[in-house]
Amino acid sequence: MLTIESHVSLKPYNTFGIDANARYWVEINQETDIQTLLQLTDFVDTPKLILGGGSNVLLCHDFNGLVVKMNIKGIDVLREDNSHVYLTAGAGVVWHDLVMFCIERGYAGMENLSLIPGTVGAAPMQNIGAYGVELEQVFESLTAINIHTGERRRFMHADCQFGYRESIFKRELKNQYIITSVTFQLNKQATFHTRYGAIQETLAAMGISDANLSVKAVSDAVIHIRQSKLPDPAQIGNAGSFFKNPEISQDQFDSLKESYPTLPGYPVYDGVVKIPAGWLIEQAGWKGYRSGDAGVHTRQALVLVNYGNTTGDEILALAKRIQKSVLEKFGVAISPEVNIV
Active-site position among 165, 167, 181, 219? 165
**pLDDT reading at 197 higher than 80:** no
Predicted confidence (pLDDT) at residue 105 exceeds the cutoff of 80: yes
For residue 266, pLDDT beyond 90: no
Q: Average pLDDT in the 272-293 region?
A: 96
Architecture of domain 237-340: Alpha-Beta Complex (3.90)
- pTM comes to 0.88
User: Running DSSP on this structure, what letter comes out for residue 152?
Assistant: E
337 is catalytic: yes
Catalytic-labelled residue, pool 111, 134, 314, 337: 337
Active-site hit among 114, 181, 219, 241: 241
Rounded to whole angstroms, what are the CA distances from 203 to 96, 217, 304?
20, 7, 28
* 165 catalytic residue (yes or no): yes
pLDDT greater at residue 196 or residue 159: 159
* Cβ-count burial 276-301 (b if 16+ within 10 Å, e if not): bbbbbbbbbebbebeeebbbbbeebb
pLDDT confidence of residue 208: 87
pLDDT at 98 over 90: yes
Is the confidence at residue 167, as pLDDT, over 90? yes
pLDDT for position 245:
93
For the cut 90, the answer to whether the pLDDT of residue 217 exceeds it is yes
Strands 63-70, 48-51: parallel, antiparallel or unpaired by DSSP? parallel
As a dihedral over the C-alpha atoms of residue 191, residue 78, residue 136, residue 68, rounded to 10 degrees, the angle is -140
pLDDT greater than 90 at residue 251: yes
Cα-based angle 256, 259, 262 (whole degrees, multiple of 5): 80
Tell me, rounded to whole angstroms, the distance of Cα 6 from its chain centroid. Answer: 28
Position 140 pLDDT exceeds 90? yes
For the segment(s) 5-70, the CATH number from 3.40.50.80, 3.30.43.10, 1.10.540.10, 3.90.600.10 is 3.30.43.10
Domain ranges of the chain: 5-70, 75-187, 237-340
State the fold for domain 75-187.
3.30.465
